[in-house]
Each structure stands twice: as structure tokens, then as C-alpha cells.
């Protein structure tokens, strides 16, 4: 029986996180209370607080759960000596596909909508999600620069440029509700263009042409 206690504990925790996710996405962060989440999951506030001492802790768990479920780009293999355009395209498609998932878009909308009153939500989403992708991309680009496959530059800036190009089209339009979720072929076309623009700036031969001009 004792062996089943961790399973029951984890199942209860997962149920709380699932109920909280629905409440946050439905009502927003500010309008959601710990009492309402406890009622939704079927338990007392005391039980809820035993798992999560605050609403902020519970929102962090929701973010972690969504990143774990849908963070494909954080798990994509990035070989050291792989074809640059091919790897960047695969990475970009994975990133854009991930952040365009309905669950992730909805989470972004909650954070943006509550940013004025609860700026900690934005920091939380950045630290637990986007920054992890940024650092992983940065590390891979630094490796390519060290190998001479990309021109020497600031890897952090290069990662920001690449990720910005990947997110500059469909994502922001869809986030604002100005367009429907794009089809796969649209995502791939946008990323191929982003990769061409990025490599036009960061390939070593481009640096040589700039020096000679």
C-alpha cells in the first residue's frame, strides 16, 4: 500500500494542475482564486495549499506542465555537424509549431492580458519556457561559430535574431486573433524564409563580402 502513496499524490497533483489550467485560461489569472480551483478539483483549500502554497506557485506548475507536454523544440536533436539550413529549418518549424499550439497560444494570451497587474507571470513564462529555447539555440549557434560554419558574432544576439525571424509572421497575427492558425505548409514556408535571411547575415562568406565592400 505504501508504494501506491506516491502515485496517488502525483495523480492528485496532476488533477489540481489540470483544474488550475482550465480556470486560468477560462477566467484569467486575476479572476481565478484558490477557492474556486479547490471547488473545481473537489477538495478543500487546505489540501490545495498542501500541494501549492500560493496561486503563483500553481501558475508556475501550469507553465511547467505545458512546456513539458508541448515543448518539442526543447527536445529536438541538434547535431554538431548537421547541414545548417536543414537543422535551422527543423528547429524553426518545431519552435513555430509549438508556440502556435492552441494551449500555448491561450497561455500567452493570459500572460499578456494580465501583464500590467501581474508582471511576474511574464517573467515566469520567459524563465520556464522561452528562455530555455533561447539558451539551447544560443549554445548550438556558438558551437557552429567555433567551428567556423557561422561567422564570429555574439551567440545570444544571433539566437535572438533567429528566433525573432521565426516568430515575426503567423505567430503574432494569430496571438492577436488577427488570423487563424496557419497550415503546416505556411509554417514551413515562413521558416525557410527566416533561415535564408538568417544565413545571409551569419554565413562566413557574408562577413567576407561585407569586409570587402
With contact defined as beta carbons under 8 Å apart, do 21 and 30 qualify? no
Domain ranges of the chain: 2-58, 71-204
- Assign 213 a pLDDT band (cuts: 50, 70, 90): very low
pLDDT at 207 over 80: no
Same CATH topology for 2-58 and 71-204?
no
Share of the chain above pLDDT 70, in %: 93
pLDDT at 208 over 80: no
pLDDT in tens, 112-169: 999 889 999 999 999 988 899 999 999 999 999 999 999 999 999 999 999 999 998 8
Handedness of CA 141, 147, 150, 154 (dihedral sign): positive
Q: Which fold has domain 2-58?
A: Arc Repressor Mutant, subunit A (1.10.10)
Distance (Å, rounded) from C-alpha 52 to C-alpha 34?
10
User: Please, what CATH class does the domain formed by 71-204 belong to?
Assistant: mainly alpha
pLDDT at 5 over 70: no
Angle at CA of residue 144, ends 139 and 147, nearest 5°: 125
Q: How many other CB atoms sit within 10 Å of the CB of residue 145?
A: 18
Mean pLDDT (whole number) for 98-106: 93
Q: Considering only CA atoms, which of 108, 109, 158, 165 is closest in space to residue 135?
A: 158
pLDDT at 71 over 90: no
> Cell numbers 527536445 correspond to what residue?
75
pLDDT in tens, 12-54: 999 999 999 999 999 999 999 999 999 999 878 888 999 999 9
- Assign 206 a pLDDT band (cuts: 50, 70, 90): low
Entry pTM:
0.85
Amino acid at each position: 500500500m505504501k508504494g501506491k502513496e506516491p502515485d496517488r499524490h502525483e495523480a492528485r497533483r496532476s488533477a489540481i494542475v489540470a483544474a488550475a489550467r482550465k480556470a486560468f485560461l477560462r477566467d484569467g489569472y486575476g479572476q481565478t482564486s484558490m477557492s474556486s480551483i479547490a471547488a473545481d478539483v473537489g477538495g478543500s483549500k487546505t489540501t490545495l495549499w498542501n500541494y501549492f502554497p500560493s496561486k503563483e506557485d500553481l501558475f508556475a506548475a501550469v507553465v511547467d506542465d505545458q512546456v513539458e507536454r508541448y515543448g518539442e523544440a526543447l527536445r529536438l536533436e541538434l547535431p554538431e555537424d548537421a547541414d545548417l539550413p536543414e537543422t535551422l529549418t527543423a528547429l524553426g518549424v518545431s519552435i513555430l509549431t509549438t508556440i502556435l499550439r492552441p494551449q500555448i497560444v491561450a497561455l500567452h494570451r493570459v500572460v499578456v492580458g494580465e501583464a500590467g497587474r501581474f508582471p511576474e507571470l511574464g517573467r515566469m513564462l520567459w524563465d520556464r519556457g522561452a528562455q530555455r529555447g533561447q539558451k539551447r539555440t544560443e549554445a548550438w549557434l556558438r558551437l557552429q561559430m567555433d567551428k567556423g560554419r557561422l561567422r564570429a558574432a555574439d551567440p545570444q544576439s544571433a539566437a535572438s535574431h533567429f528566433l525573432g525571424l521565426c516568430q515575426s509572421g503567423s505567430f503574432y497575427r494569430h496571438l492577436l486573433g488577427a488570423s487563424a492558425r496557419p497550415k503546416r505548409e505556411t509554417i514551413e514556408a515562413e521558416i525557410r524564409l527566416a533561415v535564408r535571411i538568417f544565413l545571409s547575415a551569419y554565413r562566413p562568406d557574408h562577413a567576407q563580402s561585407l569586409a570587402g565592400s
